Structure 1
Amino acid sequence: MVEYDLVIVGAGPGGSIAAKIGAEKGLKTIFIERGRVSGEKNSSGCGLGPRMWRDFPELMKELTPETCPSLRTCEIYVLRWIDMNGRMRGMQGFTPSNSVSYDPARKWHTKNVYRSEFDPWLAKFATDAGAELKTSTLVTDLMKDDKGKVIGVKTDKGEEIRGKIVIGADGVLSVVARKSGLQVKWPKDQVTIVPQYDFSCDKAKVDKYIDNMADNLWFGANFPGAYQVFFDEGMHLGLGNWLASFTEGRKSPLAYLNMVLEVPEMKRILELVDAKPREIQSHLLPWTSEPCPTQTDNVMLVGDAAGFPCPLEAEGIYPAMITARLAAETAVEAISNGDTSKSALKRYEERWRKSSVGIEFEGGRSLQEIWRATIFNPETMKWFVPFYHEAMGAFADWSEPHIVRFKQIFEAIRNVYLPKLQPLMMKYVLPLLSDVLEEDISILPMLEGLMKQMRPKRKGG
């Protein structure tokens, strides 16, 4: 039987970071990947935010078009609003905000890259540090002692690999989470299914027509929020919603995605870049307002295995890498102290809760509630898309004198949309503002008062 200090299940971004740090700190480390290479068993691509360059500077400075040829930088992200007839009613583009506090966040939104390039690139840092990578191996169970404490893993090849600490970096369907009892099954309202099409594109045409507008969000009255991400010579289009929403008599996820493909503006873009479909993919992600329990005796969970994707848009690469680093650092301390118990590993939870990832979840519930009530609620979007168009389109309306149109639009908003908008604001937006403003909530009564003043007066009232 082979014995290690640290056994990591999964060689995605979380597993590779945990393996790299464990090996660098002198732990005998192995990370185990079910695919033939890292990155083989996941979604097609990802957007990497500037926080990764801030928090992993020595690592991320090595990410270049030479190391990952699919790399494309997004400096402008674009929102498109689509009505029930598939007509685009509005489009906006945003560069990074002036209020962000560091470079490179002032310069760009994301660096987009295919996972088939990024994951093996990242795994090599771990193997270079001395970690052992075992591929084409599926972990099927955990080894336990007479007291039921985890002491290693079992594989589909009949192997038993003993470890002082096991880190589960094995995704939403984590064997480590399930077999350790930390998370037996995700409820349907805490997991999303994400279908997506991957396209090849003409690089010269992407450079000409898309360039740095590489992240596109599609908010529709007939489909859940969809995303379109451009890479150097490719693009993928996907959407998602909580699994529970697809079991309530609505269309299938793929049917909704096909509706996005039928939007005339989408067809125009695909034609401009000579996009040709080359793969259909579908995967599950945890999408919850609070991670599951993250540690027990000799075990810690990181990334998707613990439900760490962002509660707003379910981005998971950065949370996986941050939690993996914290878990590995905790493992080093625990093994050094000779105490890998649940109480000793509680230090891991204390660390992630204080990290950028933990802070994200402080407003997790209010962030998700407003998302569920708007972009991912078809009944809301049926009126919200025309409301948004009505509110934002006045400045380009030359049908009447501007002051006349402003009055007409204000009356339409007040009489048609405000009765629907006000309860939405009260129930979902004000709680979010309360989380954002924390103690400084004096603005909330003022906003509520303004909303009441704008409400249409009842006849005879």
Structure 2
Amino acid sequence: MSEYDLIVVGAGPGGSIAAKIGAEKGLKTIFIERGRVPGEKNSSGCGLGPRIWRDFPELMKDFIGNPTLPSQRPAKLIYSHFVDETHRLRYTEAWGPSDSVTYWPAKEWIVMACYRSDFDPWLAEFATGAGAELKTSTLVIDLLKDEKGKVCGVVTDKGEKIKGKVVIGADGVVSTVSRLSGLQYKWGKSAVTIVPQIDFKADPKKIDKVLGDACSGIWAGTDFPAAYQVWFHDGMHIGFGNWLGWYVEKKNPMSYMNTIINIPHFRKLCELTDAKPREIQVHLLPWTWNPVKTHTDNVILVGDAAGFPCPLEAEGVYPAMITAKLAVETAAKCIANGDTSKRAFDAYDDAWKISSVGIEFKGGRSLAELWRASMFDLDAMKWLVPFYHEVKGAIGDWSQPHIVRIREILAELRKYIPKLLPFALSYVVPLLSDVFEDDVEAIPQIESMIRKMMPKKKKNKVS
């Protein structure tokens, strides 16, 4: 029976980072991947945020322009499209990096798009280069347990039993390690999202000609959940997600996809870039405002397995990489001290809670509930789309003298006050409370101001 200090289940971004750091710290490390190569089972592409470059500078210094990563495309602009109930395009906007960002490459681009089939094997090579052993085409189907019932290794679909001092669960949303260790048996319907998407091939020259510096975008409307569109060097994908419980009450997910891809402006972009569908993909992601239990005796969960994707847009690559780094740093210290108990691993929770990932979850609930009540609430979008258009775009038309237009716009906006103010009280004020946690006395003043702006209800007269 093979024995290791560190067994990592999964060779995605979290698994490869865990294996790399484990090997660098002198731990005998193996990482196990069910695909034939890392990245084979992943759906399409991903967006890599600047924080990865900030927090893993040595790793990422040779990424940009690397010929082994041909799909990469920087998003120097992000765009959004708002369509009404007739699918008429009502408003489009684009934005680039803000002057308030403080470091490179965040000052140059917002996100770097890259297919996971490129990124994952590239990342795994750093782990094997550091001395970790990679076992592919191998599925972990069970956990070994000692006489006290504590995890002490894994069992593969080939019948292999591999012992280890610590098992890192980096095996995604449907995590075998999480389930069999007793940490998380099943996700609730409001904690996981199903994400259908269609991947397209497209002409690279036409993409550059039509999109310019843009790469990623958002589609919002009144009869489909908010969708994302990401352009790569030679293709793009369009997808959307919503909480599983929402689909139970609504339509089949692919019916919404059909709605999106038949929006006239979307079809025009496909025509201009010679984009043609090449694959339909569906995957699950945890999408919750708090991670699950992250560790027990001899076991630590990272990334999707623990529910670490961002509570706003469910981005999971950066959280997986950071939590993997912190998990292995914790594990290495505990192994050296001869104590890999659940209590010893409490240090992992202490570490991720003060990290960039943990700070994201401080506003997790308020961010998620604002998102659910706006871009993912089709009834709310029926008034939010025209309201947003009126605020952002109506002043630019030439139908009247501009001062007259401003009066007309203000008159139109008054119609939205009965919906807008309760919305702000229910969802915006809680978010502001999280944002201004060090200046909480400002929040009651804001709430009081909003309440004073609300129209008074008329009393029913008794005849």
TM range (shorter): over 0.9
Secondary structure in 1 matching 2:282: strand
Q: Which residue of 1 aligns with 2:57?
A: 57
Distance 1:435 1:187 in 2: 25
Deviation at 1:443, TM superposition (A): 3.5
Where does 1:125-140 land on structure 2 (aligned, <5 Å)?
Answer: 125-140=126-141
- The Cα of 1:459 is off from its aligned counterpart by 6.2
- CA deviation after TM superposition for structure 1 residue 254, in Å: 1.2
**d(CA) in 2 for partners of 1:371, 1:206:** 30
Shift of 1:211: 2.7
Q: Which residue is equivalent to 2:363?
A: 363
Structure 2 residue 259 is matched with structure 1 residue 259: yes
* Map 1:93-104 → 2, pairs under 5 A: 93-104=94-105
- Aligned AA (1:410): L
Secondary structure of the corresponding residue to residue 40 of structure 1: coil
Letter in 2 for 1:391: V
More divergent stretch after superposition (34-43 vs 433-442): 433-442
Counterparts in 2 of 1:335-374, with a 5 A limit?
Answer: 335-374=335-374
Could you report, residue by residue, the CA deviation over 1:319-364 in whole angstroms, capped at 9, with x for unpaired residues?
A: 0000000111111111111111111111111101110001100110
Return the alpha-carbon distance in structure 1 between the equivalents of residues 370 and 8 of structure 2.
36
Relative distance call for 1:9 and 1:458 in structure 2 (3 A) is closer
Does residue 226 (structure 1) correspond to residue 227 (structure 2)? The answer is: yes
* Unaligned ranges ≥5, structure 2: none
2:275 is matched with 275
Specify the alignment match of 1:148 in structure 2. Answer: 149
CA deviation after TM superposition for structure 1 residue 391, in Å: 1.7
RMSD: 1.3
Q: Deviations over 1:263-313 (max 9, x none)?
A: 111011111100010000000000000000101000000000000000000
Give the total of aligned pairs: 459
1:46-71 CA deviation, whole Å, 9 max, x = no partner?
01000000000000112133120111
Corresponding position: 1:197 with 2:198: yes
C-alpha deviation, 1:409, in angstroms: 1.7
* Cα displacement (A) at 1:412: 1.9
**Quick one: distance in 1 between partners of 2:3 and 2:212?**
50
Structure 2 CA distance for aligned equivalents of residues 458 and 158 of structure 1? 70
Whether 1:34 aligns to 2:50 is no
One-letter amino acid matched to 1:390: E
**Identity of counterpart residues, as a percentage?**
62
The equivalent of 1:301 in structure 2 is 301
Task: Give the match for residue 87 of structure 1.
Answer: 88
Q: State the AA in 2 paired with 1:432.
A: L
- What is the CA deviation profile of residues 59-117 of structure 1, one whole-angstrom value per residue up to 9, with x for unaligned ones? 01121331201111100100111111111111111111111111111110011100001
Moved more, 286-295 or 78-87: 78-87
- More deviation, 81-90/448-457: 448-457
Residue 439 of structure 2 corresponds to which residue in structure 1?
A: 440
Q: Which amino acid aligns with 2:192?
A: V
Match of 2:122 in 1: 121
1:417 aligns with 2:416: yes
Q: Aligned partners of 2:459, 2:151: CA distance in 1, in Å?
A: 72
Distance 1:365 1:183 in 2: 20
Question: Is the CA contact 2:425–2:450 (under 8 Å) kept in the aligned structure 1?
Answer: no
Aligned with 2:345: secondary structure? helix
Secondary structure of 2:439's counterpart equals: coil
5+ unaligned residues in a row in structure 1: which ranges? Answer: none
Q: Distance in 1 between matches of 2:351 and 2:451?
A: 43
List, as ranges, runs of 4+ consecutive aligned residues in structure 1 with deviation greater than 2 Å: 441-461
Offset of residue 457 of structure 1:
5.3
Tell me the distance in 1 between the aligned counterparts of 2:226 and 2:389. 17
Q: Match of 1:395, as an amino acid? A: I
1:109 paired residue number: 110
| Secondary structure in 2 matching 1:343 | coil
Pair 457,186 (structure 1): closer, same or farther in 2 beyond 3 Å: closer
Query: Is the 1:72–1:212 Cα contact (8 Å) retained in structure 2?
Result: no
Cα pair distance change 1:192/1:458, threshold 3 Å: closer
Give, in whole Å, the separation in 2 of the partners of 1:64 and 1:459: 62
Could you tell me which amino acid in structure 1 is paired with residue 57 of structure 2? P
TM alignment of 1:367-382, pairs within 5 A? 367-382=367-382
Change (3 A) 1:288 1:457: closer
Is this contact kept in 1: 2:395–2:409, CA < 8 A?
A: no
Q: Matched residues in 2 for 1:162 and 1:458: separation?
A: 69
SS of the counterpart of 1:399? coil
Task: Indicate yes or no: 2:217 matched with 1:216.
Answer: yes
CA distance in 2, matches of 1:193, 1:225: 13
Counterpart code for 1:100: V
CA-to-partner distance for each residue in 1:184-205, whole Å, 9 max, x for gaps? 0000100000000000000110
Contact 1:10 1:33 survives alignment (8 Å): yes
2:115 and 2:17 mapped to 1: Cα distance? Answer: 18
Taking structure 2 as the reference length, the TM-score comes to 0.97
Amino acid at match of 1:135: T
Partner of 2:190: helix, strand, or coil? Answer: helix
Cross-structure match for 2:77: 76
- What is the CA–CA distance in structure 2 between the aligned matches of 1:395 and 1:454, rounded to whole Å? 23
For residues 315 and 215 of structure 2, the distance between their equivalents in structure 1, rounded to whole angstroms, comes to 16
- What is the CA distance between 1:460 and its match in structure 2? 8.2
- Kindly indicate whether the alpha-carbon contact (under 8 Å) linking 2:166 and 2:340 is maintained by their aligned counterparts in 1: yes
Confirm or deny: 8 A CA contact 1:46 1:115 kept in the other structure.
yes
Instruction: State the alpha-carbon separation in 2 of the partners of residues 317 and 458 from structure 1.
Output: 48
Letter in 1 for 2:26: G
- Please give the alpha-carbon distance, in whole angstroms, between the structure 1 residues aligned to 2:138 and 2:432: 47
